[in-house]
Structure 1
């Protein structure tokens, strides 16, 4: 049974600074629409070597500030290119940073007049509250999703590896049924598996489990596809 817990919460922005072209008020409005989605990126594991990760429990009085820094183009889209430090920067001990960066890249702001190649710099501060019970529940939900995906893939049979097309259809059906509740990092990872050859799919599937849970995915049928 998945434990019930108080919902994690990201506060409204306490401070927003922007360069000319996009007002702080416009950024605040978008952030207020997205901040609870950002709460789904709560940090669940320690940040040691993935194979040694354990459930994360912050020490008392740890700073729960969230700092976001990113650039917005004239079309209102967030700059994705992280080279040179231009991609979204996420700071906050309670946030899973790769997950948060993926979400920030998906945000859309009002378009504004500017020359090609001009970007508005945005810096934003908020706070993030969560509980040990909620983090435990988050891990349990991800584990249950991996177990369900294992069952769905294993139903394709284990005598020999299934076809790439059959695996892709199974992944797409799984995403359709569970998309709204999946952890963002798991959702993005599964979306990237469609159309991948079966052997590489298994490797990525198992790597994703280690990254999100700190342990390998226990799915003997799927693992066995790489040995046949």
Structure 2
């Protein structure tokens, strides 16, 4: 069941029991910011051969994060589950109409429009990472490389739309959505909050990611700028011209 609360005007009369509640558990927040870091890092290093090790490592990290998010979307806390926020076209259309009219209902978790962006980003991340891996393994030729680049550019566009939606939602509902993804807390009633932040899972995620990055770096002891490096056993020849 998707939990909603009153609009700003309605929420003013909701009573003193309304306050800051825990909505986003630690794994969701760690996933979100690691994805931001990995996608941004992979995107800006895509055209630089000397940074190939970093680019590939961040791409593999993205793939692992998406797999985790898909699993956590089934077994995670209330607002992390896809069943809580993924809705059909009618609900999405109704929310967007209300949003454009300045009267969209405030959702404690993801709203229906935000859910579309999340699902799209997860799907695009899978397309980007799988095509990137296949391209790196020389499995698809030029067309696959172009598909990989196109998928990354489309994903960047969806990220931009998502950011605009977050900023608009923050203004519309008077609730800091960016800050909520840092603290995990949003405006709502105590009964709607999640009981556990699952910090242990978030810590394990960070340990796994940092451990993977360390093993990748150890595979290139000479450094990415000084000679051949290997990524998961495959040599990366520095200064290679692919054009």
TM-score computed with the length of structure 1 as normaliser: 0.21
Higher relative contact order (CA 8 A, sep 6+): 2
TM-score computed with the length of structure 2 as normaliser: 0.20
Instruction: Say which structure is richer in strand.
Output: 1
Instruction: Say which structure is richer in helix.
Output: 2
